[in-house]
Amino acid sequence: MGNTTSEVSSGVKAQINSGGQGPELYRFVDMT
């Protein structure tokens, strides 16, 4: 669980760079 936060941060950054879709971003966090 230690890497979860880092992975989420990376995923969020990638999502924002991709287009910054709010709902999709939260879905990704929910999946993790």
Q: What are the pLDDT digits (tens) for 1-32?
A: 456 777 777 777 776 666 655 666 566 666 55
- pLDDT score at 13: 75
Q: Does the reported pTM lie above 0.75?
A: no
Per-residue pLDDT, 14: 72
Give the integer Cα–Cα distance in Å for 2 and 15. 21
Three-class SS of residue 1?
coil
Query: What is the model's pLDDT at position 16?
Result: 64
Q: Are 26 and 16 in contact (CB under 8 A)?
A: no
